[in-house]
Chain A
């Protein structure tokens, strides 16, 4: 039971911390860190989409930035060009990311392993170049700015994300909801199908699972998570830019996920938090913080190939707690009398 109670304590501490951030952090450090934590939450949702595909379905997507960009531009263009209010723009961002994921997924999930990783990069590069070259629509690398419409108005009072505390709780609520839904899906029969495909797609197909459809569903779901994170990031930064669709953005999410622990719900959150906190702390003193990021990525895959959360799980399940190894069944043997 040690592990279970430890995890409950950890979850309570983590939950209390996340809820108290807007009051505790400005008092202890600086209100700037509230926005850093908001950013961590948004990016960890992005990393979670990589995790959903890689950790649970075995597909390494290196092109999630494409759907992130669609989420961003859905919001930015919805507000700036179509004059939408907050919620329709949010919906447009998520919808366009999912639609794009469906269209590209139809082709991409036919491939597996290296080929899948490469075709996802190719798709994201195509749209990156399109977005960069179509400056009038997307603003290219400079991006487009927009002013934030109010979240809702109540009793004549207008609530908007320009209030950092409200923004923080809005992001926290959306990210928690997404992670909760992802958790539910993974523990549903559909999720068991995902795991079966991840572990052995041939066997999964032999027991009657439709591997292609399962992969496509996972791909669109991951596109949805990415779209939500892109939309949130657009609200957070009040702008959208083609530079977020470049393959290096996707690469960072893969690194965060694997360093944090792929195939675990909180791994991406841990990995993202680690890298962004390091970036924020180091970059103010030393401009070459990527050196540390690169070094950490390499050390992580060598010494903790299952990620930080994987390392933690291994540590908590030390001998004594681990299931006793089952005796290997010996084959029946018969020997003829000489």
Chain B
């Protein structure tokens, strides 16, 4: 019993770190472009599929770690320019547009990859003995990669020109434009980065989950929960909420079924929306 609790809690923690990466992409897009991105789960799904294709074409799993974010970035930038920019940040229209995008991505994957879910075997086989349970090495590795990517993203946001531009445009668009920051280009790049984060999350998660054209449908509500509970646009809050939620769901799963775990986090989310719409962690973030 204790072992199961520990195992599920660990699974939750690790899945939470990967979700944090995806939710971070959603939060960046939401915070900067004010867009409810219904297609974000599919960005993740595209990442898993890209990992699958790079593995099947080259025989090397790790190439997917480069291909997925790269292709994701390019796709995201192109989508922003072609689809998102013409609708001028109208929230309702952005929902319809990204819903359409979600259908297109799912259907394209169904045509190219097929409708049968695929499974990638862990590229690092074996287990380690940790706290009295045998644990998959790849899962630990995936958690470390996700953590590194999260850290890298925050460093990027703090210390590079583009990162500073992104924060400036978010903070005060008009002043930023007056200071000579190319806001339109920042939007294009931001959407690309959001897609890249989700796709990278997908590539990292591919051996843990299944590769399926509907794989994003389950991930999307979870990412939204993390973004809401962490506070809209509050990036560190989003990460904390993703890890916390997933960890809690893991714990609840050890005493109840996964559906009850999901329901309890949805109830928690409703409570947060109604009582603290600014998110749980307001005050901790800058």
Contacts and interface: CB of A to CB of B under 8 A. Distances in A.
Given A298-B97, A305-B90, A288 B277 contact: no
A255 B99 contact: yes
B193 interface: no
A118 B274 contact: no
A312 interface: no
B270 A126 contact: yes
B66 interface: no
Nearest to B266: A126
B91 A114 contact: yes
Contacts of A291: 103-104, 107-108, 111
B114 to A, nearest CB: 12
Nearest to B269: A122
Nearest to A133: B259
A258 B92 CA distance: 8
Contacts of B33: none
Contacts of B104: 290-291, 294-295, 298
Contact of A117 (B36, B87, B111): B36
A123 interface: yes
B242 to A, nearest CB: 16
Contact of B87 (A247, A296, A301): A301
Interface stretch (A73-81, A82-90, A105-113, A325-333): A105-113
Interface string B76-89: 00000001001100
Interface string B270-282: 1001100100000
Interface string A242-262: 000001100100110011001
A122 B266 contact: yes
Contact of B107 (A113, A129, A294): A294
A132 B257 CA distance: 12
A111 B97 contact: no
A118 B273 contact: yes
Nearest to B102: A294
A89 to B, nearest CB: 28
Contacts of B270: 107, 119, 122-123, 126
Nearest to A54: B92
A293 B103 contact: yes
Contacts of B91: 60, 113-114, 117
A296 B96 CA distance: 10
B274 to A, nearest CB: 6
Interface in A28-75: 54, 60, 62
A118 B95 CA distance: 11
A87 B282 CA distance: 52
Given A247-B221, A294-B101, A111 B266 contact: no
Interface residues of B, number: 41
Contacts of A300: 96
Contact of A288 (B83, B87, B111, B260): B111
B144 interface: no
A137 to B, nearest CB: 14
Contacts of A117: 36, 91, 95
Contacts of A296: 100
A290 B101 CA distance: 10
A262 B90 CA distance: 14
Contacts of A107: 270, 274
Given A288-B111, A291-B108, A301 B97 contact: yes
Contacts of B262: 129
A145 B131 CA distance: 50
A103 interface: no
A251 B99 contact: yes
Contacts of A209: none
B230 to A, nearest CB: 13
A276 interface: no
A6 interface: no
Contacts of A54: 92
B96 A122 contact: no
Contacts of B225: 122
Contacts of A217: none
A115 interface: yes
A305 B89 CA distance: 12
B100 A294 contact: yes
Given A62-B95, A122-B270, A295 B263 contact: no
28 contacts: A60-B91, A62-B95, A111-B273, A117-B36, A117-B95, A121-B224, A122-B221, A126-B270, A133-B257, A251-B38, A255-B96, A258-B92, A288-B111, A290-B107, A291-B104, A291-B107, A291-B111, A294-B100, A294-B102, A294-B103, A294-B104, A295-B100, A297-B103, A298-B104, A301-B87, A301-B96, A301-B97, A301-B100
Q: Which 8 A-B pairs have the closest CB atoms?
A: A297-B100, A294-B103, A294-B104, A294-B100, A298-B100, A133-B259, A291-B107, A301-B93
Given A107-B270, A122-B266, A129-B266, 4 more contacts: A60-B95, A114-B36, A288-B111, A293-B100
